[in-house]
Amino acid sequence: MLLAGGQGSRLGVLTSDVAKPAVSFGGKYRIIDFPLSNCINSGIDTVGVLTQYQPLVLNSHIGIGIPWDLDRNNGGVSVLPPYEKSDTSEWYSGTANAIYQNLKYMENYNPEYVLILSGDHIYKMDYEAMLDFHKSKGADVTIAVIPVPIEEASRFGVVIADENKCIQDFEEKPEHPRSNLASMGIYIFTWAALKESLLALKDQSNCDFGKHIIPYLHKKGSPMYVYEFNSYWKDVGTLGSYWEANMELIELIPEFNLYEEFWKIYTNQSIIEPQYIASTAMVEKAIVGAGAQIYGEVYSSVLGAGVIIEEGAVVRDSIIMEGVHIGKNCVIDKAIIAENTVVGDNTKMGQGEALESKLNASIYAFGLAVVGENSTIPANVTIGKNTAIKGQTTEEDYPDGQLCSGDYIIKAGDRE
Amino acid sequence: MKALGIILAGGNNVRMQNLTDKRAIAAMPIGGSYRCIDFVLSNMTNSHIQTVAVLSQYNARSLNEHLNSSKWWNFGRKQGGLFLFTPTVTTNNNWWYRGTADAIWQNIDFLKKRHEPYVVIASGDCVYKLDFNKVLDYHIEKQADITVVCAKLPEGDDLSRYGVVTMDRDGRITEFEEKPMLAKSDIVSAGIYVIRRRALIDLLEECNKEGRYNFVTDILIRYKNLKRLYGYEMQGYWSNIADVDSYFKANMDFLRKDVRDKFFHEEPGVYSKTHDLPPAKFNTGSRVVNSLVAGGCIINSTVENSVLFKKAFVGNNSVVKNCIILNGAYIGDNVHVENCIVESHETLLSGSTYIGEDGVRIVTGNKNRYDMPVGEV
């Protein structure tokens, strides 16, 4: 059961029209490709994807699951939005509540074990190894954890376990953590225990795994274990960490290697033609998606499929997503430009000093200029750092041809 | 669509030299991301032909690997489908395909069982875009028995390897010469034919009785005065892969904007099997100009005027110039390779030099990178 209904509000305009799991990553993928590919690579061929927030992109991306070989006669992928029932109709109000509302879906398959995942992280993980561990321990619940530096542990839900990996206690974002094992939000439940706890807590408002189900089962004395994961796992929940995780991919030998044959990541990508690098182009330290056309210069950047960089443009330290068109002689520094955005000629982005964002200083930080999908940016304007743009903007939106650092233009709902 | 498709993909040509050692011409990699047969398959699916039979004989396995699923071209449907027919031994036949007409004749049961009134026959070794509906409309309008799709060759092309066609003002074919030493026109057959299914069955049975097996010489040329043969002149890019030079040129043509726009950006598209490769990676030191780069490539140095297919690797301080680098080729450090076609999964050891002095050189036979299964061809 893959929880993919969250907005991921800390990604700002990147998630104004798409759910976080559908945000592009690494020049080709969407975040949800990682857990979905992990599923099929681990031999899990029945996956329910729970959607709620802005599901359109997610739905069309998943389709019937062909790219992940999840188009099955029996099982396969099912998209599970909230639905109206005869007596109630409610949105998914918490992670466990969402799973509870889909008890029937799970019962159809009469499972022995249920794996709960979120669509928020970049990692390659063999869930089957975790399941083997779960079985060998005779556990009711196994929680995947990753060791983090102890000084950062207070940002996570921390699990305290004994030497047998048996869980002793939990702490949610503790000030003085007693362990460095952070919960990854990945759980394996023995079906009976999951069903019993979901039914027992069905009236709990905003029922959540970390806050309600796990403590409930712990109090009951159910056997619970931690499964330690010791490989690349990246939370891309903030614009800064999202940008960083993309930039790590352009290292000479990235820690997270997409180029190995083993454990392939699958995605739904209709653009298959090769990319064209023109005589006027210069591409260095970058990854570039299929079908891109590069006439300008690209340094230290991640470019999606079908991107066009016109002659004379210079792109540095940026993430340019699928279908973006960067006009002639643009200068793009440290920007994130979401899908199908058009940037006019001679426009400069990511210029000047980084001032605090007037929209939301905790989201639009890191010195990034961020543009939401399907936006338009006119020619000959200069855009500062910590800025946010969304929608069809025109020259009138840029007094003196400028969007100063920390400013924003959000024109939602005016799309033609 | 009122037609079914037959793709003749049986052949080899000695003039392909050792490029076809491990694959049929129809399975030759083209344009960075495609195989030759993708073009005709995409044309057929885009023309809403739902049933397609691929007739293959020479190194059929290479083609079979590429066609392992019909879903890439949208043929995986309840109605119709994609079929690969290789010669089989039955109680009344133990021949290989003895020619193009014989290849279809050996699968005549398939023709008889179908219900589509027309058949589109095309070869699997051409690069082009064509709406077969337009050819069929023309065929019906002209009340033709057989319509031959023709292409006008640019001046200076060697016509002696084509079937050369002369038409009257109405488009009816008056002369059809196969590989003439002296050509009477610059219009050649593109190897694409439209014919009524019933008429095709009759012609094939007649031919077989007389021990004739070649579609061009024994049907088209022999019947051209008896039957109404019409030529449909197709517009736009068309190239036929028959030898090393035409293969090299067809790939290099994709460095032209008009060719890229036609095949990459104009609807409807060209489809191929997907390989789920990561985006291409350009490391520090990469200097790529005027080149096509496919998914999964990793580039560390200079690449000029070249086409790189999937998963090619170029090491440090190397120069790749005017080359076609096929799938998974590994080019080490300090390598100079110019004017070459580098075979798939080839290893160019560090410090080596490969230059095509007079004409294109095929680099093949070096696989000692590591002892690993070579994988698909």
The alpha carbon of residue A377 is apart from the nearest alpha carbon of chain B, in Å, by: 24
Residue A52: phi, psi to the nearest 5?
A: -155, -60
Tell me which amino acid residue B207 is. C
Strands (E) across B216-333 are located at: 229-234, 238-240, 280-282, 287-289, 291-293, 298-299, 302-304, 307-308, 313-314, 319-321, 324-325, 330-331
Per DSSP, helices labelled H in chain B are 36-46, 60-66, 100-105, 108-113, 132-141, 197-209, 222-223, 244-253, 257-260
Q: How far apart are CA B335 and CA B313, in angstroms?
A: 12
Residue B137: phi, psi to the nearest 5?
A: -60, -45
Say whether B278 and A265 touch across the interface (CB within 8 A): yes
Non-local (6+) Cβ contacts of A412 within 8 A are A16, A390, A391
Residue A291: phi, psi to the nearest 5?
A: 70, 5
Q: How far apart are CA B260 and CA B147, in angstroms?
A: 29
Say whether B32 and A266 touch across the interface (CB within 8 A): no
- Report the relative pairing of strands A282-288 and B280-282 from DSSP bridges: antiparallel
Average pLDDT score, chain A: 94
Q: How far apart are CA B251 and CA A136, in angstroms?
A: 56
Which residue of A24, A259, A273 to mutate against B (max B Cβ within 10 Å)? Answer: A273
Q: How far apart are CA A7 and CA A303, in angstroms?
A: 24
Say whether A269 and B308 touch across the interface (CB within 8 A): no
Q: Is the dihedral of CA A205, A206, A207, A208 positive or negative?
A: negative
Q: How far apart are CA A239 and CA B190, in angstroms?
A: 54
Say whether B260 and A276 touch across the interface (CB within 8 A): yes
Say whether A274 and B283 touch across the interface (CB within 8 A): no
Say whether A264 and B295 touch across the interface (CB within 8 A): no
Whether pLDDT at A28 is above 60: yes
Say whether A287 and B278 touch across the interface (CB within 8 A): yes
Residue A197: phi, psi to the nearest 5?
A: -70, -35
pLDDT reported for residue B46: 96
Omega of the bond leading into A399 within 30 degrees of 0 (cis): no
Q: How far apart are CA B280 and CA B348, in angstroms?
A: 20
pLDDT reported for residue A413: 59
Which residue of B127, B258, B274 to mutate against A (max A Cβ within 10 Å)? Answer: B274
The alpha carbon of residue A152 is apart from the nearest alpha carbon of chain B, in Å, by: 32
Span A190-214, average pLDDT = 95
Say whether A277 and B276 touch across the interface (CB within 8 A): no
Q: Which two tokens stand for residue B205?
A: 């049975």
Q: How far apart are CA B109 and CA B113, in angstroms?
A: 6
Q: Which residues of B touch A277 (CB under 8 A)?
A: 288-293
Q: Which residues of B touch A280 (CB under 8 A)?
A: 289
Say whether B289 and A273 touch across the interface (CB within 8 A): no
Say whether A275 and B285 touch across the interface (CB within 8 A): no
Say whether B278 and A27 touch across the interface (CB within 8 A): yes
Q: Which residues of A touch B298 (CB under 8 A)?
A: 259
* Nearest-by-CA chain A residue for B291: A277
CA-to-CA separations, B89 to B84, B97, B201, in angstroms, rounded: 15, 11, 21
Q: Which residues of B touch A265 (CB under 8 A)?
A: 276, 278
Among B255, B264, B282, the residue with its CB nearest the CB of A291 is B264
Q: How far apart are CA A298 and CA A380, in angstroms?
A: 20
Q: B residues 51-90 near A, CB within 8 Å?
A: 71
The vertex-A155 CA angle with A154 and A156, nearest 5°, equals: 90
The alpha carbon of residue A271 is apart from the nearest alpha carbon of chain B, in Å, by: 9
* pLDDT tens column, A221-268: 999 999 999 999 998 999 999 999 999 999 998 999 998 888 999 999
* Nearest-by-CA chain A residue for B292: A276
List chain B pLDDT tens, one digit each, 377 residues.
799 999 999 877 888 899 998 899 999 999 999 999 999 999 999 999 999 999 999 888 889 999 988 889 999 888 889 999 999 888 888 889 999 999 999 999 999 999 999 999 999 999 999 999 999 999 999 999 999 999 999 888 888 889 999 999 999 999 999 988 888 899 999 999 999 999 999 999 999 999 999 999 999 999 999 999 999 999 999 999 999 999 999 999 999 999 999 999 999 999 999 889 999 999 999 999 999 999 999 999 999 999 999 999 999 999 999 999 999 999 999 999 999 999 999 999 999 999 999 999 999 987 766 544 444 44
The vertex-B172 CA angle with B171 and B176, nearest 5°, equals: 110
CA-to-CA separations, A180 to A10, A70, A109, A170, A173, in angstroms, rounded: 24, 36, 36, 11, 11
pLDDT reported for residue A75: 92
What's the DSSP call for residue B93? Answer: B
Burial B61-75 (b: 16+ CB within 10 A, else e): ebbeebbeebebbeb
Q: Which residues of A touch B280 (CB under 8 A)?
A: 275, 287-288
Say whether B295 and A274 touch across the interface (CB within 8 A): yes
Q: How far apart are CA A35 and CA A119, in angstroms?
A: 6
Q: Which residues of A touch B279 (CB under 8 A)?
A: 26-28, 287-290, 302-305
- Name residue, tokens 């025109």: A394
The alpha carbon of residue B223 is apart from the nearest alpha carbon of chain A, in Å, by: 42
Strands (E) across A233-307 are located at: 233-235, 275-277, 282-288, 293-294, 297-303
Among B31, B264, B298, the residue with its CB nearest the CB of A259 is B298
Say whether A285 and B278 touch across the interface (CB within 8 A): no
* Nearest-by-CA chain B residue for A272: B33
Question: For residues B58 and B103, is the Cβ–Cβ distance under 8 A?
Answer: no
Q: B residues 273-312 near A, CB within 8 Å?
A: 274, 276, 278-296, 298, 307-309
Among A66, A264, A275, the residue with its CB nearest the CB of B280 is A275
Q: Which residues of B touch A279 (CB under 8 A)?
A: 289-290
Whether pLDDT at A415 is above 90: no
Non-local (6+) Cβ contacts of A163 within 8 A are none
Greatest extent of chain B over all pairs of C-alpha atoms, in Å:
67
pLDDT reported for residue A392: 94
Between chain A and chain B, how many beta carbons pairs sit less than 8 Å apart? Answer: 102
Q: Which residues of A touch B296 (CB under 8 A)?
A: 259
Residue A73: CB atoms within 10 Å: 5
Question: For residues B264 and A291, is the Cβ–Cβ distance under 8 A?
Answer: yes
Per DSSP, helices labelled H in A313-381 are none
Residues of A with CB under 8 A from a CB of B: 26-28, 66-67, 250, 252, 258-259, 264-267, 269, 272-291, 298, 302-305
* Nearest-by-CA chain B residue for A286: B282
The alpha carbon of residue A384 is apart from the nearest alpha carbon of chain B, in Å, by: 28
Confidence tier at A416 by pLDDT (50, 70, 90): very low
Question: For residues A380 and A347, is the Cβ–Cβ distance under 8 A?
Answer: yes
